């Protein structure tokens, strides 16, 4: 049976776009165990408290919660263990430089299945200040009001 090119989103980090200005996004593979993949297929995951760090020239996700698979017994691993991300070495070095020099952060935006593999959308982002968040909220409210007025008029 051929694998389709469909992308099935498992989880999104909704706070990321609220707390950060996204500069660039990348796709990375994730190294997981079998029971973790089964748990992901059930949607038992949360990206809200996770972040990405570089250790010894490799990327790792820290704080990503994947609930233990209920039918897995001794094969289950720690739900908050750090997980390795797979990217090309050139991309990793470029990201390392930008994180160290420009003070940017690496955060996960979403996790999804692509052609049977678990992939993560990684973002290079700059943290928003409180006044930036207020400005964004103000713009969203204004756009929402304009849309509702247009709908009411027609």
User: Confidence band (pLDDT; 50, 70, 90) for 120?
Assistant: very high
> Is 93 inside a domain boundary?
yes
> Is 32 inside a domain boundary?
yes
Buried b (16+ CB within 10 A) or exposed e, 81-106: eebebebeeeebeebeebbeeeebbb
What DSSP letter does each residue of 14-52 carry, written as one string? HHHHHHEEEEEEEEEEE---HHHHHHHHTT-EE-TT-EE
> Is 41 inside a domain boundary?
yes
> Is 139 inside a domain boundary?
no
Kindly report, residue by residue over 19-66, the tens digit of the pLDDT. Answer: 888 888 999 999 988 888 888 888 888 888 888 988 888 999 998 888
Report, in angstroms and rounded to the nearest whole number, the Rg of the chain calculated over CA atoms.
18
Rounded CA gap, 41 and 29, in Å?
A: 16
% helix / strand / coil in the chain, to the nearest 5? 35, 35, 30
Q: Considering the entire predicted model, what is its pTM?
A: 0.76
> Structurally, how many domains does the chain consist of?
1
Average pLDDT, the chain: 85
At 111, which CATH number?
2.40.280.10
The structure tokens listed for 69 are 């698979």
Would the pLDDT of 16 be above 90? no
Average pLDDT over residues 91-97: 89
Would the pLDDT of 1 be above 50? no
Rounded CA gap, 70 and 47, in Å?
A: 20
pLDDT cut 90: percent of the chain above it? 22
Phi, psi of 67 (to 5 degrees): -60, 145
Q: What is the DSSP letter of 72?
A: -
Kindly report, residue by residue over 17-26, the tens digit of the pLDDT. Answer: 888 888 889 9
Would the pLDDT of 116 be above 90? no
The structure tokens listed for 25 are 């996004």
> Is 148 inside a domain boundary?
no
User: The domain containing residue 14 runs over which residues?
Assistant: 7-128
The structure tokens listed for 92 are 């990793």
> Is 146 inside a domain boundary?
no
136 SS3 class: helix
Would the pLDDT of 3 be above 70? no
């Amino acid at each position: 049976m051929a694998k389709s090119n469909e992308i099935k989103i498992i989880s999104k980090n909704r706070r990321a776009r609220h707390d950060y200005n996204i500069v660039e996004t990348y796709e990375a593979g994730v190294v997981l165990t079998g029971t973790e993949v089964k748990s992901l297929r059930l949607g038992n995951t949360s990206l809200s408290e996770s972040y990405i760090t570089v250790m010894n020239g490799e990327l790792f996700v820290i704080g990503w919660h994947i609930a233990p698979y209920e039918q897995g017994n001794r094969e289950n691993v720690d739900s908050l263990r750090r997980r390795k991300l797979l990217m090309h070495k050139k991309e990793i070095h470029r990201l390392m430089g930008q994180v160290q020099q420009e003070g940017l952060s690496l955060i996960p935006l979403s996790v999804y299945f692509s052609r049977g593999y678990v992939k993560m959308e990684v973002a290079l982002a700059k943290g928003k200040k409180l006044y930036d968040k207020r400005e964004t909220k103000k713009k969203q409210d204004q756009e929402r009001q304009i849309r509702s007025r247009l709908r009411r008029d027609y």
